[in-house]
A and B are shown apart, each in its own frame.
Chain A
Amino acid sequence: MIVVAGAPAAATEPEITASLTPAELAYGTTLAVTGRVLGAGPGAQDAPLALQADPYPFRGFITIARVATAADGSFAFSGVRPDRNTRLRVIDEASPAALSAVLGVIVDPRVAINAVSVGRGRTRLSLRVEHTREGGSTSVSAWWFVAAAGARVFHLVAVTPTREISAGVTYASATVDPPSKRFSYRVCFNPTWEQAMGAPLSHGRCPEHDHAAPGDAG
């Protein structure tokens, strides 16, 4: 949860504190923005608040929901469903100078991966990703790596194209010879929409060669 207060407004302006729960969420799930209007005196009740969103690529805020404050000045916007990384703020529409601080929301793609043995020497690995439609979804390469149980080096075993099977849903698969009966696998891709989703640290290039599991190097 992130709790922040807006910059102190003029003496006559109320102060808006707001927080996000959660601040990072999976695509398709919802968050709540809660907080309180402070220093507004008896007029705090029924103050008209607007929730404003500025989704990636962050070109400006627009109002996406409205509520009124409760008797104690508290408020809650629930069921907010951003489809990509978004900045949020709360504004008192009766006192437009009263703004909460900007709250950053990270939206991760919703990912399912699977491994199914389809015969001797053949295991089908698959990746299904639900993601924003912002940024397009042209085919890119999915890099597949496997490591035998207990091994820390992941070997590149396949590079296959991704394809968008329906709007906002991308799929890729590879059939590989597993390195052992139990094994670990990794899949990595750099989608066209990557800047719109996930934490900044996840916006690097995929490894394109065998590699040791990070953090395990001796």
Chain B
Amino acid sequence: MRHLAMRAEAASRWRRLAALTAACILLVAVQISTARAFEYQGEGLGDPVAAYPSAKAIAAAARFLDGRAGRTSFAVVDSRGRVSGVRMHEHFQTASVVKVMMLVAYLQMLNAQHRGLRAADTSLLYPMIHISDNNAASAVLAIVGEPALARVARESGMSDYAPGVGWWAYTQTSAADQARFFFALDQLIPPRFYGYARGLLSGIEPSQSWGIPPVARPLWQVFFKTGALPSEGLFNEVARLERPGVTFTIAVFTSGDPSMSYGEQTIQGVAAALLVHTP
């Protein structure tokens, strides 16, 4: 008798569970009415991680930048992938910042050719990034071709890119474009070369490591590139900062700076305002 009662109770529990399951199916597995494929939509609850840097920190960086001389802009892609900044679509010359686009184009080319890195490749890529060697950059651009840079620009969603007239350092870009580009590096660089690229971009020699790295290290891993056209007082920097579970990017562009140290201080000040609190 007790056995039968237990069986009845189990059956009842199963029916309740089945009914609950059926209710869940009806509630959550709604095929999208305009679906072009087997595509379903539901509602969820969660506990999101706050975006980093905070809106408050970005506002502080903007206030700092507005107090600086010359023409300036900056953009941040926060840890949730949202873009914000100041005058972030204003056009600037890339100077050496464009070398990272060349690096990506070159590694994509190798991947398309199904070949690995050879000495001839690294003898160009390493100096181009490590000491920002201009001759190596010209050689890389001659190999990949300008259309490859335009493709990288398209793939990373740039809207302000234009090829340089007369010299690659005059390539047109914006802070928003470069911040987006650095945020997408892990998607743009073929996986087999991603570790190599990260090594290059985080191991740049000290004389080229001004601006963001001194502010962010050692709490953050910094993957970055600086650019300068001193005759125009132009100093730029783009960086991808990573800690476990948090990745964001910063692009700061300046021109008309009275000196290089002034440009460096502008970029450092923006980084310091953004990094005032560590996640």
Q: A: which residues have CB within 8 A of B? A: 108-115, 117, 119-123, 125, 127, 129, 146, 155, 177-191, 194, 198, 201-207, 214-215
A202 and B46 in contact (CB under 8 A), knowing A112-B25, A114-B28?
A: no
Q: In the bound complex, how far is the Cα of B78 from the Cα of A86, in angstroms?
A: 50
Contact B37 A115 (CB under 8 A): no
User: Which residues of B are found within 8 Å of A191, using beta-carbon distances?
Assistant: 38
User: Which residues of B are found within 8 Å of A109, using beta-carbon distances?
Assistant: 38
User: Which residues of B are found within 8 Å of A201, using beta-carbon distances?
Assistant: 35-36
A154 to chain B, nearest CB (A): 9
User: Contacting A184 at CB < 8 Å: which of B21, B36, B43?
Assistant: B43
Contact B38 A189 (CB under 8 A): yes
User: Contacting B21 at CB < 8 Å: which of A112, A115, A120, A203?
Assistant: A112
User: Contacting B41 at CB < 8 Å: which of A123, A185, A203?
Assistant: A185
Q: Quick one: CB contact mask for B64-75 with A, threshold 8 Å, 1 for yes?
A: 000000000000
Closest residue of chain B to A194, judged by CB? B38
A184 and B44 in contact (CB under 8 A), knowing A114-B24, A191-B38, A202-B36?
A: yes
Q: Quick one: CB contact mask for B164-203 with A, threshold 8 Å, 1 for yes?
A: 0000000000000000000000000000000000000000
User: Which residues of B are found within 8 Å of A187, using beta-carbon distances?
Assistant: 39-40
Q: In the bound complex, how far is the Cα of B80 from the Cα of A114, in angstroms?
A: 22
Q: In the bound complex, how far is the Cα of B45 from the Cα of A24, in angstroms?
A: 32
User: Contacting B40 at CB < 8 Å: which of A113, A182, A183, A214?
Assistant: A113
B32 to chain A, nearest CB (A): 7
Contact A182 B39 (CB under 8 A): no
Contact A120 B49 (CB under 8 A): yes
Q: In the bound complex, how far is the Cα of B141 from the Cα of A127, in angstroms?
A: 46
Contact A121 B47 (CB under 8 A): yes
- State whether the Cβ of B207 lies closer than 8 Å to any Cβ in chain A: no
User: Which residues of B are found within 8 Å of A215, using beta-carbon distances?
Assistant: 34
State the 9 A-B residue pairs at the shortest beta-carbon distance, nearest first: A115-B44, A178-B46, A204-B36, A121-B49, A123-B46, A188-B39, A214-B34, A111-B29, A112-B25
Interface size on B, residues (CB 8 A): 26
- State whether the Cβ of B48 lies closer than 8 Å to any Cβ in chain A: yes
B23 to chain A, nearest CB (A): 11
Q: In the bound complex, how far is the Cα of B263 from the Cα of A27, in angstroms?
A: 66
User: Which residues of B are found within 8 Å of A123, using beta-carbon distances?
Assistant: 44-47
Q: In the bound complex, how far is the Cα of B37 from the Cα of A205, in angstroms?
A: 6
- State whether the Cβ of B81 lies closer than 8 Å to any Cβ in chain A: yes
User: Contacting B42 at CB < 8 Å: which of A108, A119, A185?
Assistant: A185
28 contacts between A and B (CB under 8 A): A111-B38, A111-B40, A113-B29, A113-B40, A113-B42, A114-B42, A115-B44, A117-B46, A117-B47, A119-B47, A120-B49, A122-B46, A129-B38, A177-B48, A177-B80, A178-B46, A178-B48, A179-B48, A183-B45, A184-B43, A188-B39, A189-B38, A190-B37, A194-B37, A202-B31, A202-B35, A206-B37, A214-B34
A205 and B36 in contact (CB under 8 A), knowing A111-B29, A112-B21, A114-B28?
A: yes
Contact A183 B39 (CB under 8 A): no
B80-109 contacts to A, CB under 8 A, are: 80-81
Closest residue of chain B to A115, judged by CB? B44
Q: In the bound complex, how far is the Cα of B42 from the Cα of A110, in angstroms?
A: 15
Contact B41 A184 (CB under 8 A): yes
Closest residue of chain A to B81, judged by CB? A155
- State whether the Cβ of B116 lies closer than 8 Å to any Cβ in chain A: no
Contact A112 B48 (CB under 8 A): no
Q: In the bound complex, how far is the Cα of B24 from the Cα of A126, in angstroms?
A: 13
Q: In the bound complex, how far is the Cα of B78 from the Cα of A177, in angstroms?
A: 14
- State whether the Cβ of B245 lies closer than 8 Å to any Cβ in chain A: yes
User: Which residues of B are found within 8 Å of A185, using beta-carbon distances?
Assistant: 41-44
Q: In the bound complex, how far is the Cα of B39 from the Cα of A122, in angstroms?
A: 22
Contact A183 B43 (CB under 8 A): yes
Contact B37 A204 (CB under 8 A): yes
Q: A115-B43, A179-B48, A185-B42 are in contact. List 4 more A-B contacts (CB 8 A).
A: A181-B45, A181-B46, A184-B41, A188-B37
A85 to chain B, nearest CB (A): 13
